[in-house]
Chains A and B, each alone.
Chain A
């Protein structure tokens, strides 16, 4: 992996460590309203300042990062699992199953994906699972397409014929011989997509879909502080930087993965 990919990966690890352990080290509770300390600019005491309810923004960015990243990563993982299973089954069995599954995939991909996720999250009860469900329901289709394409290229390889020749059942061929082959490419593709999932999660939470205030999410923090932007720009600056830096590192990491995948 190129150097920039390694640097990006280390920053990602750093971000993960800070959102995991940071909240324990912070002297402030992300939910603690403190009306004596409202809208303070960044200072030694509050490095990122405080918001309109006097809550420490650094504490909320760290705690919100837990939620935003957990939502984005879970959605990526679920999309990957659904897409992986659909793609391998579709490519391996072919025929009618393939036709139907790929028709569904094409259909989902005909929608602008974030808009469809918005439509799905509007009708769901609003909590931290909303965005996970909406993003997963929309996000699996491209995974399925890619994996299916790869299965088509390997299903006539000699080792598959060999497996059949020694008497492996079709299910065994699929699970023990096809699926492991796709895992490498699939997980690389998953790595490339995480940045996009993070941005989609931030957009949904900015729109107020998903976790509800006072639970902090990066997008939600920006939308609830919008009204104070002119006088207290730090309120929207730091959560936005958090989204941007995280997505940027994941995108660089994804680019490095892609370079590796194309040199395969």
Chain B
């Protein structure tokens, strides 16, 4: 177990180098000479040369990348073009808000998705199954920025039940609901598939013939086997939740890294955009690492029989 985690952690290293290399390539492809952007169009050639030496854009590409990597390792994403604040500080400030939003969305999506999936799977091919399956697919098909705007229109502007935008506890309900919709869709779909698959397994038949109570049957025998694919799906989809956060946070004015990314995109504030994307990618990678480790904790079959890779 310990060895497995250590192995996985070592595999993060090449991934980190690759991720930073791609972000470096994107940064290099930004139109315009950074030195000229810093000193302005009218600076003398000597000044431009001086700035180039200072920021190192006259060095060869490999040492530039090396410098960039060293910078990132020190936790430095550069400064915003507009506010001159260090991007890492802004991200550190806003990340807890995004985490709270994601957590709230998961607290809605996981129970709701599992419940809907259970109902649909146990009532396979009835009208209620078709209804839930249709609803799940709708959740996956509607653009989050649109459902967000509609929720805002109906619940906060028309019915005046909840505030439309801001950051804080009362404000979290609508954006987390928006973010939860597609998640409910994918979780209920995977739960439904698993319920159908598991229902015909011999151990379920054995449990039924032994006279196990329904609560124990669904709550323990089936649930234990469903939770693993659900966690997998959350891991896989987490990237799309992060992208969804960019749209949702923007609409609801939630002060997280999603809205920060959006503002960076609008103002072409490249250090902000790249800083946010590297952070989001690292989170995505870590979440999937945690999912991998959870497999081992939750499923003894993986622990004992997995081929040693």
Contact = CB atoms under 8 A, between A and B. Distances in A.
B143 A122 contact: no
Interface in B1-54: 14-15, 18-19, 22-23, 26, 29-31
Q: Which of B22, B262, B273 has the most CB of A within 10 A?
A: B22
Contacts of B243: 112-115, 118, 203
A203 B182 CA distance: 14
A219 B143 contact: yes
A236 B137 contact: no
Interface in A132-184: none
Contacts of A236: 146, 149-150
Chain B contact residues: helix, strand, loop or mixed: helix
Interface residues of B, number: 45
Interface string A198-223: 01001100111100000000010011
Contacts of B31: 123, 125
B149 A226 contact: yes
B281 A110 contact: yes
Interface size class of A (residues with CB under 8 A): 35 or more
Given A110-B285, A222-B149, A244-B138, A122 B273 contact: yes
A175 B284 CA distance: 37
Nearest to B21: A107
A111 B142 contact: no
B234 interface: no
Q: Which of B145, B150, B247, B280 has the most CB of A within 10 A?
A: B145
A35 B262 CA distance: 31
Top 7 A-B pairs ranked by shortest CB distance? Answer: A112-B239, A114-B243, A240-B146, A248-B141, A247-B141, A107-B18, A244-B142
24 contacts: A107-B18, A112-B243, A112-B280, A113-B243, A115-B242, A115-B243, A118-B273, A118-B277, A119-B23, A122-B265, A122-B268, A123-B26, A123-B30, A123-B31, A195-B141, A206-B143, A222-B145, A222-B146, A230-B157, A240-B149, A240-B150, A243-B146, A247-B141, A248-B142
